[in-house]
Chains A and B, each alone.
Chain A
Amino acid sequence: EVQLLESGGGLVQPGGSLRLSCAASGFTFSSYAMSWVRQAPGKGLEWVSAISGSGGSTYYADSVKGRFTISRDYSKNTLYLQMNSLRADDTALYYCAKGMVGGVIVPPDYWGQGTLVTVSS
């Protein structure tokens, strides 16, 4: 059974940093692309970032490019999202998601339960 468990969210001041983690299990972590998708309170879904199974290719939404960094640790089967220079409009529930079968970067099939990031003074 695929399981994705996010952690690391919390309250942070504007300009601050947070690192989100996503512990993956139930599948061969290195074989699948992974993504982060966020959802602001009461709003729709917004793709944030994706990384290939090998980790060699990374992609970002323009809204986070230069501020967020996606990475993965194969020894820990964990996906990360380092978030710097946080702004109020980064406030959202952040979902970790596993990519579908096939392709370097593919859309999600399974999603975690999310971790809440609140940026406020």
Chain B
Amino acid sequence: EIVLTQSPDFQSVTPKEKVTITCRASQSIGSNLHWYQQKPDQSPKLLIQYASQSFSGVPSRFTGSGYGTEFTLTINSLEAEDAATYYCHQSSSLPWTFGQGTKVEIK
């Protein structure tokens, strides 16, 4: 099973600041890494697919990068509505796995 480890677990950020979340895989997964945003009491929403492809309708301040074992989700100029938990997810091999989540709080 591929283990995904996100860092940090929690981040408190002021609006307009830049946020960087890292996801490390226990073995190479190519570009089969996706990012989801989950706001409190809501279902997850896809932000980035296949490491760097923005999903339809996602604001351009959300970008993804990486390949192999190290990936990054960047939120440029954080907005109050971005308060959420962010999860990375690998679909390289079964069982599909998720990172433990990174909670982003707005100061």
Interface residues of A (CB under 8 A from B): 37, 44-47, 50, 59, 61-62, 95, 100, 105-114
Contacts and interface: CB of A to CB of B under 8 A. Distances in A.
Given A62-B95, A107-B34, 7 more contacts: A45-B36, A45-B44, A47-B95, A95-B43, A111-B43, A112-B43, A113-B43
B62 interface: no
Contacts of A45: 36, 38, 44, 87, 89, 98, 101
Contacts, number: 45
A109 B94 CA distance: 18
Interface of B: 34, 36, 38, 42-46, 49, 55, 87, 89, 91, 94-101
A108 B36 CA distance: 10
A107 B43 CA distance: 15
A44 B43 contact: no
Nearest to B1: A62
B43 A100 contact: no
Contacts of B98: 44-47
Contact of B49 (A61, A95, A109, A112): A109
Nearest to A103: B91
Nearest to A60: B95
B46 A109 contact: yes
A95 B98 CA distance: 14
